[in-house]
A and B are shown apart, each in its own frame.
Chain A
């Protein structure tokens, strides 16, 4: 087990290094000038700025300097916010995205497992039809539509009631998080419902359930110990990537609900060619994703002993 963990961690480091290198090469080959602004500047100022960001050196040298600094955990200073370190940006804004992401994944996982199990139990009956219709809706409608719609209906509800049930936008208390987290988790919830449904159906018709029934086990025990626990495995597999995807993919929801998450910096940095922020956020998110995948693999081995044996 230790050997396996070490091996996975080593693979993870290689992956992150690859992500960093690919991003660095891609970024420097995108046309555009990170130092340009609204107003044209003279050659002296430009030269000084280039020297400050090390852009006057050859690209290969810049790459090695960057990698060395990155190993020390220093992502440099932002181009657009000239006195903020990228480390500060990540430290201040990632917790916001992560908080929102965790809540969204919780919504998604709990709802997905619950509704998935329900549809499987009531297969081809009314609850199944209703839930599966909503699932298709949840998968096919993009989150910005849900975000705008839910915000609008919230405003109208607040207006009708004459007081605020939930804040319309902003960040700070848990009441600010509820709606955005729900919207953010909706797509994943729908996906997990489908996953849970099919895996539940498969388990229901498996031999060991029949054996359990034949043994005369109580239905409660069959359901909770044998059905649910086996059926939930595929859902756990997608949980890790889902956390990473939700945490990093919340840009639209963050924009609509005016949430100060990292997603905004992630997207704006690319538009503004803010080299250091592009590198910082990409490497950070990349490492986060890789770490979540490794974590899930390890947890999976712990839940399902068969994986460890392979």
Chain B
């Protein structure tokens, strides 16, 4: 036998061992593939247990079964209308439930369970239609509303949205535990008549009634669920156009047309399949391109591709206004009006939106009141155009000098800008840092925090400036208008001004729409003159929809994406 160096005997080309080993490895690879295939069969069976097969491998539009497939941005924390506080739950609730009133396809108020309603002084009477049914066939009665509303106000329930019922007599007192819930001014006179007594007559109550906290709940059923109401598809009763037939947490949700819905003829789809729960924009676009979902929102980098594909682009103002709030507590430098004015004269929302954020659908902010809010006749902003500051560095420097003189300072110490941890809030904060440093030599310290920590710091007043946002709860300027009232707990900068408070009171209590709008106009002016905050942007989306699906509506209030009026146009 020839002498070999043990170090390289295995590598010698054509060596017997290498060949034998190669053969062994090939056999081994084959075995591995076989094992993998076997494992996959087992996993397939396992996966069947952890998800619903119904939601799978279906195209976006199922013409045969008249079903569309789409997505939810997030897993809804819960479908209990009395506790839900987020947009995703609100959107699903708008499909499976119906309140006394609802918003029609063009955001006009129409009767839901209520056939007609009437307000006389501080008494509002709702007459319920006799063909409204729960998904178990029982009639929807006035008692279902009385139960739900009183339950929301029960302090032991701890509903975050209880405040939206506060116009009702004794509601706030009951929610504070001062009077028993039974004293609240809601009374089911009989099965089909609901009488609501208001604290004071207000003009916008019917607009609030369309909000999901006002939805009915069947008391008997609620008791049976034993505290799990709204936690699963079978832990709920539905009275809306659709009913939920399956809910795989974090994965999918299936809605089927509700045969008991009184206006079932209006509903043209037989089902909605929320097959995915994700907020990842590129995943959603990929799903849309693969014909798996009927709608997708687009990011900036996706616009070009959308144009290339020849898709029809739609735009939608989502409703939220983003602004930079000042800390008005007297010990803070930002309580100085001249300093705020100086900053307002440097701030340029147009530059922020068009050259920094650059996301499609965003509008430069001009006011606390967004463009879509209704006024007395036209939109509010058409009736009362927003005043704006034009960038003027020279004047800004004068105001800054005046501020420094008043404060007795030579140079402004660094200001803290509290902000969130999302990409948009980061680039926005860095932009402000740059702009204020370059033009006014003001140093901003960025304090980026996750949502809950930011909230705590906002409540504690631990900031000079804070990036804030406010979304509407109902379709009236008051949903924004009372934000800087001295008593509002959401007024985190603790702004306090009797003149503004007086206007808020007029807007709340007047029954004359013109007078109310004048008050909002006045509030808008005070916010501008007193530089209570700097408007940044109004958020909007650019989105694409499946060419075969018509009638998709997107609402600022209620269902963000509304399929109740949608239908499949198989001709396309």
Quick one: closest B residue to A48, CB to CB?
A: B158
B243-265 vs A, CB cutoff 8 Å, 1 = contact: the mask equals: 00000111100000000000000
Residues of B within 8 A of A93 (CB): 249-250
Task: State whether the Cβ of B229 lies closer than 8 Å to any Cβ in chain A.
Answer: yes
Contacting pair A48 B229 (CB below 8 A): no
Contacting pair B50 A95 (CB below 8 A): yes
Distance from B491 Cβ to chain A, minimum over Cβ atoms (Å): 9
Please report the C-alpha to C-alpha distance between residue A152 and residue B284 in the assembled complex, in whole angstroms. 11
Residues of B within 8 A of A258 (CB): 71, 276-278, 280, 283, 287
Contacting pair B489 A152 (CB below 8 A): no
Q: Given A83-B78, A83-B227, A83-B230, check contact A224 B40 (CB 8 Å).
A: no
Task: State whether the Cβ of A140 lies closer than 8 Å to any Cβ in chain B.
Answer: no
Task: State whether the Cβ of B32 lies closer than 8 Å to any Cβ in chain A.
Answer: yes
A32 touches which of B280, B453, B489 (Cβ 8 Å): B453
Contacting pair B283 A257 (CB below 8 A): yes
Residues of B within 8 A of A106 (CB): 35-36, 39
Q: Given A102-B43, A172-B55, A174-B43, check contact A34 B452 (CB 8 Å).
A: yes
Contacting pair A220 B56 (CB below 8 A): no
Distance from A77 Cβ to chain B, minimum over Cβ atoms (Å): 9
Please report the C-alpha to C-alpha distance between residue A93 and residue B158 in the assembled complex, in whole angstroms. 28
Quick one: closest A residue to B18, CB to CB?
A: A121
Task: State whether the Cβ of B21 lies closer than 8 Å to any Cβ in chain A.
Answer: yes
Tell me the chain A residues, 47-93 only, with Cβ under 8 Å from chain B. 48-49, 52, 80-84, 89, 92-93
Task: State whether the Cβ of B46 lies closer than 8 Å to any Cβ in chain A.
Answer: yes
Quick one: closest B residue to A227, CB to CB?
A: B21
Contacting pair A44 B176 (CB below 8 A): yes
Distance from B299 Cβ to chain A, minimum over Cβ atoms (Å): 13
- Among B51, B83, B456: residue with most chain A CB under 10 A: B51
Contacting pair B286 A169 (CB below 8 A): yes
Tell me the chain A residues, 109-133 only, with Cβ under 8 Å from chain B. 110, 113-114, 117-118, 121-125
Quick one: closest A residue to B74, CB to CB?
A: A268
Contacting pair B278 A255 (CB below 8 A): yes
The stretch of A5-13, A35-43, A280-288 in contact with B is: A35-43
Distance from A192 Cβ to chain B, minimum over Cβ atoms (Å): 13
Task: State whether the Cβ of B77 lies closer than 8 Å to any Cβ in chain A.
Answer: yes
Residues of B within 8 A of A96 (CB): 47, 50-51
Please report the C-alpha to C-alpha distance between residue A33 and residue B231 in the assembled complex, in whole angstroms. 24
Please report the C-alpha to C-alpha distance between residue A271 and residue B156 in the assembled complex, in whole angstroms. 27
Contacting pair A264 B250 (CB below 8 A): yes
Q: Given A106-B39, A121-B21, A167-B57, check contact A260 B251 (CB 8 Å).
A: yes
Task: State whether the Cβ of A223 lies closer than 8 Å to any Cβ in chain B.
Answer: yes
Contacting pair B456 A33 (CB below 8 A): yes
Residues of A within 8 A of B16 (CB): 219
Task: State whether the Cβ of B49 lies closer than 8 Å to any Cβ in chain A.
Answer: yes
The stretch of B6-14, B96-104, B189-197 in contact with A is: B6-14
Task: State whether the Cβ of B161 lies closer than 8 Å to any Cβ in chain A.
Answer: yes
A173 touches which of B32, B47, B83, B176 (Cβ 8 Å): B47
Task: State whether the Cβ of B282 lies closer than 8 Å to any Cβ in chain A.
Answer: yes
B290 touches which of A39, A103, A168, A172 (Cβ 8 Å): A168
Quick one: closest A residue to B235, CB to CB?
A: A83
B283 touches which of A151, A158, A222 (Cβ 8 Å): A151
Task: State whether the Cβ of A308 lies closer than 8 Å to any Cβ in chain B.
Answer: no
Residues of B within 8 A of A178 (CB): 40
Residues of B within 8 A of A45 (CB): 155, 158-160, 162, 175
Residues of A within 8 A of B39 (CB): 102-103, 106
Distance from B132 Cβ to chain A, minimum over Cβ atoms (Å): 26
Task: State whether the Cβ of A273 lies closer than 8 Å to any Cβ in chain B.
Answer: yes
Q: Given A31-B456, A110-B36, check contact A255 B17 (CB 8 Å).
A: no
Task: State whether the Cβ of B221 lies closer than 8 Å to any Cβ in chain A.
Answer: no
B282 touches which of A40, A89, A148, A228 (Cβ 8 Å): A148
Tell me the chain B residues, 418-455 only, with Cβ under 8 Å from chain A. 449-453, 455
Q: Given A39-B85, A258-B277, check contact A114 B29 (CB 8 Å).
A: yes
Task: State whether the Cβ of A292 lies closer than 8 Å to any Cβ in chain B.
Answer: no
Distance from B325 Cβ to chain A, minimum over Cβ atoms (Å): 14
Task: State whether the Cβ of A256 lies closer than 8 Å to any Cβ in chain B.
Answer: yes
Contacting pair A167 B283 (CB below 8 A): no
Please report the C-alpha to C-alpha distance between residue A23 and residue B75 in the assembled complex, in whole angstroms. 26
Please report the C-alpha to C-alpha distance between residue A82 and residue B10 in the assembled complex, in whole angstroms. 64
Q: Given A155-B286, A155-B289, check contact A172 B52 (CB 8 Å).
A: yes
Task: State whether the Cβ of B414 lies closer than 8 Å to any Cβ in chain A.
Answer: no
**26 A–B contacts, CB within 8 A, in A order:** A32-B449, A33-B456, A36-B456, A39-B85, A39-B161, A43-B176, A44-B155, A82-B77, A83-B227, A102-B43, A103-B40, A110-B32, A110-B35, A151-B282, A155-B290, A158-B290, A167-B57, A170-B55, A172-B51, A172-B57, A173-B44, A173-B53, A173-B56, A219-B19, A222-B20, A258-B283
Chain A residues with a Cβ under 8 A of chain B? 30-34, 36-45, 48-49, 52, 80-84, 89, 92-93, 95-96, 99, 102-103, 106-107, 110, 113-114, 117-118, 121-125, 148, 151-152, 154-155, 158-159, 164, 167-178, 204-205, 209-210, 213, 218-220, 222-224, 227-228, 255-258, 260-261, 264-265, 271-273
Given contacts A122-B11, A218-B20, 13 further A-B contacts (CB under 8 A): A31-B453, A37-B160, A39-B160, A39-B490, A40-B459, A41-B158, A83-B227, A121-B25, A123-B11, A172-B48, A172-B51, A175-B57, A258-B278
